């Protein structure tokens, strides 16, 4: 199993001139440590206007710094919002290729369409259209990367023959993913040969069924790119501490803060009646799972917080469900002091990660 | 952490409805029609209208909700409400600043049963093929004219309403206290249309919403539905953050 970290870049009010500066630089410190400890991925989301919850509107800049300051960790640019009012597909292809060059071929690209009216409304995008534009983007971008010159006559965008430059360092192109939050998107991912990113949807048993669907469909997919990226990555919270009670308490504060901030936003589902947004978005499965309690009053068995043994148990559940990778949210709105975040990463890498790397008996 | 409302609750206390009891039976509203318009609003006006218990939505919003109920325990009525979009802790809610009802009897009953600050007025809801419009006139003065333009059919499951919170005096522990009364209406939607929200006139002070400027239309829907206003289940202390100040009745 692979492990990654992902960033929403959240910072609480009251904002000071130092708030965002500290957030970005502490996050980069976490990335450098994760690279040294052997984590496989660093992902950064793209969000706009999401006060406190996410100040990650220019993830390509943050990730360029990550790439420049690390040696081996893969750089996940995602999800990028595949909506014309927010990103032209050629700009996505260009930025991603530049990141792939800077990172010497360590880029993965995650695609999606945004789940909030806060964002879509801010750019006056039409929520009815976003699934369709995403579908067109994921077909166009690999062609932009692999064809010397590219032209397109489409539904959401058109362009005459142009060389979209630079080209990615990886050949034929970087792996592509799609964020899976709405019901059925795992099938969309599989049909297109895309990795399923952040496939978080509640109980492990339900998750397993979705993974089975994904694995079945992807065997006969028509990939939008030059190859099939048959991988499933889940998302989870991480707080690892030698003292289980303290690990659980801090982890629950982290999860609760994330849940609270996310709920303040205006979801597209709430604001704009449309079939295009059947769920509330913003990792609702993860939020729901985090709010659950086990029979003993402890955290849900699916949440990776607590001491190394408890976290290993949770990860074994995801592993047995068929997940290839788990990406962890390390902090939210500075709930966890930086030194504790770093200590949590170190302890996880020392005590838990090796048990999933060496094929150690369960 | 998220912003909190800054409304001076005590300044609204004198106007707040009084509930003699919290045991009103649920109201069945079969065959109702609901016009719902959502607007983004100016930031400052929105914050000043919300009690300190509540967070504003991001971005700030308001809902105009007009319900025509051909049947109810208080007879037929048309009720128009202004709700400020908010969160009670992590939950989606709309804080009702004021409501108007075309039936004095229904207005009084909605006040005493659920805490709606509902006043008698001429409230009209008109459905045509090119638009669905609502108009509220009080004392001969139009205080709201709004509409859904160019309706197109959508699926009943596509529509979602948020629960209302009414500021009212309620009996607790032998005395009368100010609380936010949650009206978590249930609905079974039969048909739904969506269209462009339009607002032709809006008298904010008449809606106890001075400073509120609904300046950016988000969505409009019109539904036929069977509605239920259930027994009151939750009260929120308007002065405390909702995650600390919410009381579940009967718990």
From the number of C-beta atoms within 10 Å of its C-beta (0-12, 13-18, 19+), residue B176 rates as middle
Domain contains B3: no
Using CA coordinates, name the residue in chain B closest to A272. B219
Domain contains B165: yes
Beta carbons of A274 and B3 less than 8 Å apart: no
From the number of C-beta atoms within 10 Å of its C-beta (0-12, 13-18, 19+), residue A248 rates as buried
DSSP state of A307: S
The tokens 């130092």 sit on which residue? A18
The pLDDT of residue A204 is: 75
What's the Cα-to-Cα distance from B31 to each of A277, B27, B130, B159, rounded to whole Å?
A: 27, 13, 22, 17
Q: Nearest CA to CA, how far is B186 from chain A (Å)?
A: 16
Using CA coordinates, name the residue in chain B closest to A276. B158
Smallest Cα–Cα separation from A259: which of A279, A238, A283?
A283
List the Cα angle A90/A93/A97 in 5-degree steps. Answer: 140
Q: For residue A46, what are the domain limits?
A: 2-357
Chain B residues bordering chain A (beta-carbon distance below 8 Å):
1-3, 38, 40, 55, 57-59, 61, 85, 87, 89-92, 154-155, 157-160, 162, 192, 194, 216, 218-219, 221
CB B144 within 8 A of CB B35: no
Using CA coordinates, name the residue in chain A closest to B161. A270
Q: For residue B125, what are the domain limits?
A: 9-248
Using CA coordinates, name the residue in chain B closest to A50. B58
Beta carbons of B160 and A270 less than 8 Å apart: yes
The pLDDT of residue A97 is: 98
Alpha carbon distance A68, B222 (integer Å): 53
The pLDDT of residue A361 is: 46
Number of structural domains in chain A = 1
Domain contains B96: yes
Domain contains B97: yes
Residues of B in contact with A118 (CB under 8 A): 58-59
Smallest Cα–Cα separation from B95: which of B135, B62, B131, B60?
B62
Q: Which of A48, A270, A273 to mutate to test the interface with B (most CBs of B within 10 A)?
A: A273
Alpha carbon distance A123, A328 (integer Å): 29
List the Cα angle A166/A167/A170 in 5-degree steps. Answer: 140
Domain contains B74: yes
The pLDDT of residue A207 is: 79
Alpha carbon distance A196, A293 (integer Å): 27
A29 half-sphere exposure, CB direction, 13 A CA radius: 15
DSSP annotation string for A42-61: EEE----SBTTTB--S-HHH
Question: Going by DSSP bridges, is the β-strand pair A2-7/A325-329 parallel, antiparallel, or unpaired?
Answer: parallel
What's B148's domain CATH number?
2.40.400.10
Domain contains B65: yes
**pLDDT of residue B225 exceeding 50:** yes
Mean of pLDDT values over B96-121: 97
Tens place of pLDDT for every residue, chain A, 362 residues? Answer: 999 999 999 999 999 999 999 999 999 999 999 999 999 999 999 999 999 999 999 999 999 999 999 999 999 999 999 999 999 999 999 999 999 999 999 999 999 999 999 999 999 999 999 999 999 999 999 999 999 999 999 999 999 999 999 999 999 999 999 998 877 889 999 999 999 998 554 667 777 888 999 999 999 999 999 999 999 999 999 999 999 999 999 999 999 999 999 999 999 999 999 999 886 654 555 556 666 666 666 778 889 999 999 999 999 999 999 999 999 999 999 999 999 999 999 999 999 999 998 655 44
Longest CA pairwise span in chain B (Å): 53
Q: Nearest CA to CA, how far is A112 from chain B (Å)?
A: 21
Centre a 10 Å sphere on the Cβ of residue A176 and count the other Cβ atoms it contains.
28
Residues of B in contact with A126 (CB under 8 A): none
Which runs of consecutive H residues, i.e. helices, occur in chain B? 9-13, 43-49, 104-114, 242-245
Residues of B in contact with A12 (CB under 8 A): 1
Q: Which tokens go with B192?
A: 């739904």
In tens, the pLDDT along B83-92 reads 999 999 999 9
Number of structural domains in chain B = 1
Domain contains B58: yes
Average confidence score pLDDT of chain B: 96
A261 in contact with chain B, both atoms CB, cutoff 8 A: yes
The pLDDT of residue A293 is: 67
Domain contains A362: no
What's the Cα-to-Cα distance from B174 to each of A2, B6, B13, B21, B171, rounded to whole Å?
A: 60, 29, 18, 11, 6
Which runs of consecutive H residues, i.e. helices, occur in chain A? 19-37, 59-69, 89-102, 117-122, 130-146, 185-191, 204-218, 244-263, 268-271, 284-291, 308-321, 338-347, 353-357
Q: Which tokens go with B21?
A: 């009891």
Question: Going by DSSP bridges, is the β-strand pair B27-41/B55-56 parallel, antiparallel, or unpaired?
Answer: unpaired
What's A107's domain CATH number?
3.20.20.30
Domain contains A332: yes
Beta carbons of B59 and A259 less than 8 Å apart: no
Could you say which of A52, A259, A269 has the minimum Cβ distance to residue B2?
A: A52
Residues of B in contact with A333 (CB under 8 A): 1
A313 in contact with chain B, both atoms CB, cutoff 8 A: no
Q: Does ipTM top 0.85? A: yes
Question: Going by DSSP bridges, is the β-strand pair A150-153/A239-240 parallel, antiparallel, or unpaired?
Answer: unpaired
Q: Nearest CA to CA, how far is A185 from chain B (Å)?
A: 18
């Amino acid at each position: 199993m692979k492990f990654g970290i992902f960033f929403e870049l959240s910072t609480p009010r009251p904002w000071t001139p130092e708030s965002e500066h500290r957030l970005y630089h502490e996050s980069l410190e976490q990335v450098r440590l994760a690279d040294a400890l052997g984590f496989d991925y660093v992902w950064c989301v793209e969000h706009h206007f999401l006060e406190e919850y996410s100040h990650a509107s220019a993830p390509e800049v943050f990730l360029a710094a990550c790439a420049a300051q690390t040696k081996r960790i893969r750089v996940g640019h995602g999800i990028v919002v595949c909506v014309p009012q927010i990103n032209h597909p050629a700009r996505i292809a260009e930025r991603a290729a530049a990141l792939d060059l800077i990172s010497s071929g360590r880029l993965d690209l995650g695609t999606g369409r945004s789940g909030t009216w806060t964002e879509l409304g801010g750019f006056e995008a039409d929520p009815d259209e976003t699934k369709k534009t995403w579908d067109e983007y994921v077909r166009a971008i690999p062609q932009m990367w692999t064809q010397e010159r590219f032209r397109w006559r489409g539904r959401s965008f058109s362009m005459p023959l142009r060389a979209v430059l630079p080209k990615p360092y990886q050949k034929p192109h970087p792996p592509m993913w799609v964020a899976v939050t709405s019901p059925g998107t795992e099938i969309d991912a599989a049909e297109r040969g895309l990795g399923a990113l952040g496939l978080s949807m509640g109980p492990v048993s339900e998750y397993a069924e979705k993974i089975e669907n994904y694995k079945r469909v992807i065997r006969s997919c028509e990939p939008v790119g030059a190859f099939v990226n048959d991988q499933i990555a889940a998302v989870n919270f991480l707080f690892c501490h030698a003292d289980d009670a303290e690990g659980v308490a801090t982890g629950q504060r982290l999860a609760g803060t994330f849940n609270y901030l996310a709920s303040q936003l205006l979801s597209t589902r709430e604001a704009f009646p449309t079939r295009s947004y059947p769920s509330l978005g913003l990792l609702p499965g993860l939020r729901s799972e985090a709010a659950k309690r086990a029979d003993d009053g402890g955290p849900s068995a699916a949440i990776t917080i607590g001491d190394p043994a408890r976290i290993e148990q949770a990860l074994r559940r995801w592993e047995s469900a068929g997940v290839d990778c788990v990406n962890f949210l390390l902090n939210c709105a500075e709930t966890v002091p930086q030194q504790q975040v770093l200590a949590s990463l170190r302890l996880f890498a020392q005590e838990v990660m090796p048990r999933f790397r060496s094929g150690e008996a369960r | 952490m998220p912003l909190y409302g800054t409304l001076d609750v005590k300044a609204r206390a004198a106007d707040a409805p009084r509930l003699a009891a919290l045991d009103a039976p649920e109201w069945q509203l079969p065959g109702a029609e609901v016009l719902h318009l959502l607007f983004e609003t100016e930031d400052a006006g929105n914050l000043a209208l919300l009690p300190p218990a509540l967070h504003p939505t991001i971005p700030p919003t308001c809902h105009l909700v007009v319900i025509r109920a051909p049947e109810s325990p208080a007879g037929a009525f048309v009720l128009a409400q202004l709700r400020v979009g908010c969160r009670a802790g992590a939950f989606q809610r709309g804080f009702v600043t004021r409501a108007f009802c075309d039936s004095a009897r229904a207005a009084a009953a909605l006040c005493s049963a659920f805490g709606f600050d509902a006043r008698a007025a001429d409230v009209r809801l008109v459905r045509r093929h090119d638009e669905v419009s609502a108009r509220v006139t009080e004392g001969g003065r139009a205080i709201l004219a709004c509409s859904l333009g160019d309706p197109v059919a959508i699926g009943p499951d596509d529509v979602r309403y948020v629960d209302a919170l009414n500021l009212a005096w309620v009996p607790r522990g032998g005395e009368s206290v100010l609380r936010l009364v949650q009206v978590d209406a249930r609905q079974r939607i039969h048909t739904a249309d969506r269209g462009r929200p339009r607002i032709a006139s809006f008298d904010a002070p008449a809606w106890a919403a001075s400073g509120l400027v609904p300046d950016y239309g988000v969505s409009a829907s019109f539904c036929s539905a069977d509605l239920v206003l259930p027994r009151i289940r939750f009260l929120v202390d308007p002065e405390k953050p909702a995650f600390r100040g919410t009381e579940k009745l009967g718990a």
